Amino acid sequence: MFWSRSKGVVGLDIGSSAIKLVELKERKGAEYSLERVGIEPLSPEAIVDGSIMDSSLVVDAIQKLTDETGAKAANFATSVSGHSVIIKKIQVPSMPPEELDESIQWEAEQYIPFDINDVRLDYVILSEGDLGRDTMEVLLVAVKRDKVNDYVSVISQCGKSPAIVDLDAFAVQNAYEINYDINPESVVALVNMGAAVTTINVLARGTSVFWRDISFGGNQFREALQREYNLSFDQAERAKRGEQVEGCSPAEARTVLDQVSEEMAAEIQKTFDFFAATADSEAVSELVLSGGCAQTPNLLPILQERFGVRAELMNPLRRIHFKESDFDSQWLHSIAPMLAVSIGLGVRKVGD
């Protein structure tokens, strides 16, 4: 007897500061167990401003990760973020799905700030036109073709199949949904703070209603420390984590970090203001932070204070089973916030 094994994937988050790999196994009842996990730092010249500048560095890091973790699945899911990604809800005239398939390119053109021939388009119909309504709502996703090709190519070069290219914002949402109960009363902003990009995805009653990628993250904190105290890249990276380094005490680092946290809060505020002005939803009532930069000392209380709402750090492993003996749990705990995207990718299936 042959069981048709559902096609699980390896979740591979190609971040600009580090690549994260997660392989999960689905159990009964939509539960998952952690099979393999790894993180491999990338040198800062490998990915700059969201573009892969040195693909051999990226390929080497992926290869190392797959070897070290022993990742099994041949199919990989990865994701992209940043300014070459556009997510928009648009209204189009009501029409049958086949017709939309043909006209989406034309409908999308007016919403995409790039040449339509340079992007890959995807869409989901959110509301079929009700009787009597002449428009329907469509979620439009456009990503620069070059960007997708680059991310797909580094995976192929490792001999793996790049089966799924998702968006960071959606992957973080997946990770949240498998680990937390949705509170129907609350409007939750999922804020994934990486090194170069902060991705915001607002969920109202469990449905995603707003997205925005901001070019602001851990790099801004590091650069501010480097400027202020004349630190090297590595020194500033350690100072950011609250470590004592030569020429900058944790207290000195804190004053700079707090200033940058305020700048980060102001950036997020702009997004929330825009959200409040455009969406027919209540204001954000809860912040759930992920990404390495979310661990910056004192950032969470600063955001909490500024927005007057509860803020917490997401634990994307909250409901994922694993054998304590298989993993160093202290290490897992320390990298957990950085795993949100890779875990959200790891639950994807080929063809879903």
Ligand X SMILES: Nc1ncnc2c1ncn2[C@@H]1O[C@H](COP(=O)(O)OP(=O)(O)OP(=O)(O)O)[C@@H](O)[C@H]1O
Collapsing DSSP to helix, strand or coil, 153 comes out as helix
Sequence letter at residue 21: L
Q: Binding partner of residue 288 among Mg ion, ligand X, none, CB under 5 to 8 Å per kind?
A: none
Asked if 83 touches ligand X (CB under 6 A), the answer is no
CA distances from 135 to 96, 98, 123, 241, 276 (A): 11, 16, 16, 50, 23
Tokens of 328: 């160093």
**171 touching ligand X, by CB under 6 A:** no
> From CA 248, how far away is CA 278, in angstroms rounded?
44
Residue 48's DSSP bridge partners are 51
Give me the least distance between CB of 221 and ligand X, in Å please. 7
For 236-274, letters b (16+ CB in 10 Å) and e give bbbbbeeeebeebeeebbeebbeebbeebbebbeebbee
Beta carbon of residue 195, minimum distance to ligand X (angstroms, whole number): 4
* Interface segment toward ligand X; rule CB under 6 A; list 188-196, 258-266, 302-310, 320-328: 188-196
Return the number of the residue (235 or 295) whose C-beta is nearest ligand X: 295
What is the longest distance spanned by two Cα atoms in the chain? 70
Of positions 22, 62, 293, 311, contacts ligand X by CB under 6 A: 293
Q: Which does 163 bind (CB under 5 to 8 A by kind): ligand X, Mg ion, none?
A: none
Binding mask 95-114 for ligand X (x = CB under 6 A): --------------------
Position 261 contacts ligand X (CB under 6 A): no
Torsion of CA 294, 297, 299, 304, to 10 degrees: 110
Stretch that binds ligand X, among 174-182, 204-212, 270-278, 291-299 (CB under 6 A): 291-299
User: Among ligand X, Mg ion, none, what does residue 284 contact (CB within 5–8 Å per kind)?
Assistant: none
Taking the C-alpha atoms of residue 17 and residue 40, their distance in angstroms, rounded to an integer, is 9
Applying CB under 6 A, does 16 fall inside the site for ligand X?
yes
Least distance between ligand X and beta carbon 20 (Å):
7
Cα of 94 vs its chain's centroid, Å: 32
The reply to whether 194 sits near ligand X by the rule CB under 6 A is yes
The phi and psi torsions of 117 (rounded to 5 degrees) equal -75, -15
Backbone φ and ψ for 350, nearest 5 degrees, come out as -65, 125
Return the residue of 148, 240, 248, 253 that touches ligand X, per CB under 6 A: 240
Instruction: Tell me if residue 65 falls in helix, strand or coil.
Output: helix
Binding of residue 18 to ligand X (CB under 6 A):
yes
Binding of ligand X by 295 (CB under 6 A): yes
Q: Collect all residues with Cβ–Cβ distance below 8 Å to 74 and sequence separation of at least 6.
A: 160, 161
Which residue in 196, 224, 260, 289 binds ligand X (CB under 6 A)? Answer: 196
Nearer to Mg ion, 162 or 194 (CB): 194
Using CB under 6 A as the binding rule, whether residue 338 contacts ligand X is answered as yes
User: Is 194 a binder of Mg ion (CB under 5 A)?
Assistant: yes
Binders in 219-238 for ligand X, by CB under 6 A: 219, 237
Interface residue list for Mg ion (CB under 5 A): 15, 194
Q: What are the residues binding ligand X (CB under 6 A)? A: 15-18, 194-197, 217-219, 237, 240-241, 291-293, 295-296, 338
